[in-house]
Each structure stands twice: as structure tokens, then as C-alpha cells.
């Protein structure tokens, strides 16, 4: 998994662009490995939806269109609302602590204007619901799309400066609602927060 993890991290860090063509030979040379682990990594990332195999051309990092984004956001909305509800009921203290820690990381990233650090904290904030929901099936299903969601967050949030807008305030509101065990407010804000990403990301596609 090392090569796959490294490639995935590079995509999420925006070192590799959405839609970029990758060849086994070039990646193997850059990483100092044989083509076998690279081929295996490509297969793993293809399963996760991060790569598309192009016969005779190599593999392309996924580059979504508007419909792709809408479907991913819809899937995420259903999964995350369920996970958040379970986490609130099964591990409220542990989840609240994780949310508070990630908000602190967001604050530091905002102060330093470190956009990628902010998106990583954003990833961790939402992952906390799946970590503590107590149902591994939620986590396993989410893992299949989490790489694409993280990549979209990094590549498309930055052009919109989302970390400086209402999205940040919504994280604060969700953290507060979770700490106060206010399920109705938590789910209401979370649903608005996720749903808004569809239009935001589609708009951001124009900047790629």
C-alpha cells in the first residue's frame, strides 16, 4: 500500500493535478521502485475512484464533471448524516474532543494562511464522525470515496477561499452542537454544509 498511499497523498496535496496522466514507468522512476508495486498501486487507486485506466495512454487522475460532483456530494450527505447521528449517540465525548482538536488546527491554519493545512483539518473533522460511529460498515463504505472527497476539498475549495467563508462558521456551529448534544442543530447544519459543496465545487471547476 505504500506506493498507493504516497500517490493518494500527492493527489490530495495538489502535487498531482486532477486529470493528470500518470505512467507506470515515470512513477516507478520517480519513486525508485519497480513497475510491479506501481501497477498494484494504480489498481488500488482505480478501485477507490482516484484513477481511470486509459488503454495505451497510462492512467488519469479523476477529474469530475458536474454530475460526478453532485453524485459524490449526495452519497456523502447520506453517509455522513448517519455516521454523525450514531457518533453523537455512541461516543459523544470522544467525538466532541476530536472535533474540538480539528477546529483548533483550522484556526492555526487560518491564522497562517496555510490552505492545505486547513483542508487536512477539514478532512479530519468530518472523518471523526466515521471513526466514532461504532459501525465499521459506514467507515468501509466511506473509504471508497473519501480519497475523491479529500481531493475535491483540496483542489476545489482553495480557489473559492472557502476556509474564509461561511463553511468555517458551520464547522464551529457543528462542534458546538455536538458538544451540547443538540442532534437537531448538528444534523441541520451538517446537511446544509455538505449540500452547499455541490454548487461550490461545480463553480470551482472553472478555475482548474
Residue 165 is part of a domain; what is its CATH number? 1.20.120.530
The dihedrals phi and psi of 83, each to the nearest 5 degrees, come to -65, -40
Same domain? For 92 and 188 the reply is: yes
Same domain? For 112 and 136 the reply is: yes
By C-alpha distance, which of 84, 78, 74, 83 is closest to 137? 83
As a whole number of angstroms, the longest Cα–Cα distance in the chain is 56
Alpha-carbon span 164 to 115, nearest angstrom: 10
Contact, 159 vs 121, CB < 8 A? no
Along the 208 residues of the chain, how does pLDDT read in single tens digits? 689 999 999 999 899 999 999 999 999 999 999 999 999 999 999 999 999 988 777 799 999 999 999 999 999 999 999 999 999 999 999 999 999 999 999 999 989 988 889 989 999 999 999 999 999 999 999 988 999 999 988 888 766 665 567 889 999 999 999 999 999 999 999 999 999 888 888 888 877 7
In the chain, the number of structural domains is 2
Same domain? For 159 and 74 the reply is: yes
Same domain? For 103 and 185 the reply is: yes
Same domain? For 29 and 110 the reply is: no
Domain boundary among 16, 42, 61: 61
Same domain? For 97 and 46 the reply is: no
* Cell numbers at 162, concatenated: 472557502
Alpha-carbon span 188 to 208, nearest angstrom: 31
Domain boundary among 15, 38, 61: 61
Alpha-carbon span 64 to 112, nearest angstrom: 30
Same domain? For 95 and 43 the reply is: no
pTM, two decimal places: 0.90
CB-based burial label for 14 (10 Å; 0-12, 13-18, 19+): middle
Find the domain containing 39 and state its range.
2-61
Same domain? For 111 and 192 the reply is: yes
Alpha-carbon span 184 to 164, nearest angstrom: 25
Same domain? For 35 and 80 the reply is: no
End-to-end CA gap in the chain: 29
Domain boundary among 26, 41, 61: 61
Same domain? For 73 and 30 the reply is: no
Same domain? For 50 and 103 the reply is: no
Give residue for cell 506501481.
38
By C-alpha distance, which of 76, 69, 163 is closest to 116? 163
Residue 7 is part of a domain; what is its CATH number? 1.10.10.10
Sheet with strand 21-22: strands edge to edge: 21-22, 58-61, 51-54
Per DSSP, helices labelled H in 91-114 are 92-112
Same domain? For 90 and 23 the reply is: no
* Cell numbers at 168, concatenated: 468555517
Amino acid at each position: 500500500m505504500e506506493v498507493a498511499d504516497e500517490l493518494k497523498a500527492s493527489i490530495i496535496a495538489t502535487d498531482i493535478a486532477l486529470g493528470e496522466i500518470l505512467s507506470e514507468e515515470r512513477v516507478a522512476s520517480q519513486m525508485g521502485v519497480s513497475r510491479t508495486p506501481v501497477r498494484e498501486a494504480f489498481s488500488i487507486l482505480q478501485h477507490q475512484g482516484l484513477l481511470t485506466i486509459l488503454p495505451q495512454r497510462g492512467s488519469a487522475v479523476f477529474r469530475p464533471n458536474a454530475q460526478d460532483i453532485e453524485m459524490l456530494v449526495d452519497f456523502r450527505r447520506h453517509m455522513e448524516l448517519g455516521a454523525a447521528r450514531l457518533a453523537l449517540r455512541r461516543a459523544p465525548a470522544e467525538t466532541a474532543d476530536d472535533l474540538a482538536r480539528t477546529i483548533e488546527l483550522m484556526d492555526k491554519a487560518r491564522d497562517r494562511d496555510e490552505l492545505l493545512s486547513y483542508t487536512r483539518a477539514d478532512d479530519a473533522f468530518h472523518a471523526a464522525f466515521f471513526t466514532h460511529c461504532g459501525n465499521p460498515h459506514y467507515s468501509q463504505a466511506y473509504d471508497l470515496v473519501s480519497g475523491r472527497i479529500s481531493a475535491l476539498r483540496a483542489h476545489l475549495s482553495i480557489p473559492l477561499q472557502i476556509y474564509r467563508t461561511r463553511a468555517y462558521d458551520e464547522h464551529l456551529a457543528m462542534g458546538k452542537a455536538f458538544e451540547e448534544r443538540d442532534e437537531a442543530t448538528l444534523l441541520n447544519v451538517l446537511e446544509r454544509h455538505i449540500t452547499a459543496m455541490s454548487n461550490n465545487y461545480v463553480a470551482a471547476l472553472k478555475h482548474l
